[in-house]
Amino acid sequence: MEETHLTQLGREARGFDSPEAAVLERVPNPHPGTRYLVRFAAPEFTSLCPVTGQPDFAHLVIDYVPGDWLVESKSLKLYLGSFRNNGAFHEDCTVAIGKRLVAELTPEWLRIGGYWYPRGGIPIDVFWQTGAAPTGVWLPDQGVAPYRGRG
């Protein structure tokens, strides 16, 4: 396994101006060859509407079955934060995050659920995964209730 050089963990790290500029770091999987699920939840994800510039909010849930690499969590946090001043539609944000993680980690499998809060009265939920769910891995429900409004 290649040696990793972490530049953000344990150091002061400022946010990034854009998702493209953000540095995602990885660390070796301590259990290569063992199938297990890793979940990250980001209940306060924000980006900007590319048309109005108004903020959009989402609860993201990222599940993946690692291969040789794990995403380093501080770098993931900084990457997700880089969307805060980025104009992109819900679909673009959600799918781009999933694809970037796949490109960096080469996981066995990954899925992302973007549960976007309503703006203009319509909630938009976006889901993407790399393929069929792997067998032999516990895949719990993402645990985010559908939007119900005032009930």
Tokens of 70: 């794990």
Contacts of 48 (CB under 8 A, 6+ apart): 54, 55, 56, 84, 85, 86, 87, 88
Active-site residue flag, 49? yes
From the candidates 17, 56, 68, 125, give the one annotated as an active-site residue: 56
Active-site residue flag, 141? no
From the candidates 49, 68, 92, 125, give the one annotated as an active-site residue: 49
- Please give the full DSSP string across 129-148, using - where no structure is assigned: ESSSPPTTS-------PPP-
CA distances from 77 to 5, 13, 51 (A): 18, 11, 25
DSSP 71: E
Which residues are known catalytic residues?
49, 56
